[in-house]
Structure 1
Amino acid sequence: MAEDADTIVDVHYNGVFTPTPLMYFNGVKAFVPYTVVNKMNFPDFIPFLEKLTNGRCIDVYYCPHEVRLSEGLHAIQNDCDFNEFLEDINEKKRLDVYVDHHHEPLFHWIQEEEADLEDEDLVSIDDVDSILEDGLKAEHVEDDENDDLVEEDHNAIRPIYLRHDHTQEWNEMKPQLGMKYSTTTELKYFLSCYDVANG
């Protein structure tokens, strides 16, 4: 059994789940000691999370810390799920709780991710052996004698790229292919002016 003082529950909220690979993006993290969670029942846990996150908790999930979400994600929807969650806390020193505010189809995304991994063309040992054998049978190809006769044209006309004119009116700025900017800040300013002018 894990020590109560060392066991932590990381609560991730106000973020968004993204598919392939399944991740929780741009969330806020709060640390809750095990001693607080261990004293609760499922009916107390969801209101506790809603108070902690200052919002409605539509779906709640947990995953062992440092395990990919697609491999260890579990839903907490009833007393049975909550009891499994408490048992997992006892076995591990740290668990991550994720609050899904948008009711995303996470388990469908996990199935799609697993199907994509199975469909990838993996190179087998037989394929590698056949490639190696083909490489051993190849004959040496002589260099083409005409390669030495080809000269590089150093007098070729180089392309001319426009430079951004920072004195131009903001509402008349138009992008040109290959236009150069002196700094990234100048590029950002140009793009924001163009976006505002042409909405």
Structure 2
Amino acid sequence: MVNPDPIFLKVRLHYNVVFTRHPHRYTGGETFMFTDHDFSGMDLHGCCEFLERFVGEPFEKHYYLARDLTMANGLRVIINEMDYQVFIDVAYQSPERPIDPYLDHIGEGFEDWFDEESDESGSVI
């Protein structure tokens, strides 16, 4: 049975961003807030197709930032259906608060950067 009054997530999409390594953050890009789309009714493939149509270009990787964490501690990659379901579950823990997915259009492997240690100046150790 379809819910006649679905609770839509607040999804604040970040795209065309440039990730920086030290400090871990993103710069530039564009942001759009979705408040009327049922992301929980999509699978990962459907979500990726929807987002590619929206931004007008393909992307290589898809991340989200876990709420109340820094980018260095909370950025999670969405690779498979299980990751996508965790993203949806995290979002529905507080559906009134936006959740922030990020699109990596060039596929730099941003998640690998967090395995490195750095000193206070940002130099990789």
**Residue 12 in structure 1 maps to residue 35 in structure 2:** no
Q: Matches of residues 86-105 of structure 1 in structure 2 within 5 Å?
A: 86-92=88-94, 93-105=97-109
Q: Deviations over 1:106-149 (max 9, x none)?
A: 1221122xx2259x9xxxxxxxxxxxxxxxxxxxxxxxxxxxxx
Write the distance in 1 (CA, Å) between the matches of 2:25 and 2:54: 22
TM-score between both structures, scaled by the size of structure 1 = 0.52
Higher percent of residues as helix? 1
Write the distance in 1 (CA, Å) between the matches of 2:12 and 2:34: 6
Write the distance in 1 (CA, Å) between the matches of 2:45 and 2:112: 27
Q: Which residue number in structure 2 is paired with residue 78 of structure 1?
A: 80
Give how far 1:65 is off. Answer: 4.2
Structure showing greater relative contact order (alpha-carbon pairs closer than 8 Å, 6 or more residues apart)? 2
- 1:68 corresponds, among 67, 70, 74, to 70
**Unmatched tracts of structure 1, length 5 or more:** 121-199
Q: Supply the AA of the counterpart residue of 1:57.
A: F
Q: Which residue number in structure 2 is paired with residue 29 of structure 1?
A: 31
- C-alpha contact 1:9 1:34 (8 A) present in aligned 2: no
Percent identity over paired residues: 26
Shift of the 35–50 alpha-carbon distance from structure 1 to 2, 3 Å rule, reads: closer
**Unmatched tracts of structure 2, length 5 or more:** 1-5
Shift of the 28–65 alpha-carbon distance from structure 1 to 2, 3 Å rule, reads: farther
Q: Which residue number in structure 1 is paired with residue 42 of structure 2?
A: 40
Shift of the 53–8 alpha-carbon distance from structure 1 to 2, 3 Å rule, reads: same
Bigger radius of gyration among the two? 1
- C-alpha contact 2:67 2:74 (8 A) present in aligned 1: no
Q: Supply the AA of the counterpart residue of 1:98.
A: Y
After superposition, the CA RMSD in angstroms is 2.2
Aligned length: 114
TM-score between both structures, scaled by the size of structure 2 = 0.81
- C-alpha contact 1:4 1:35 (8 A) present in aligned 2: no
Write the distance in 1 (CA, Å) between the matches of 2:62 and 2:104: 6
Give how far 1:75 is off. Answer: 0.9
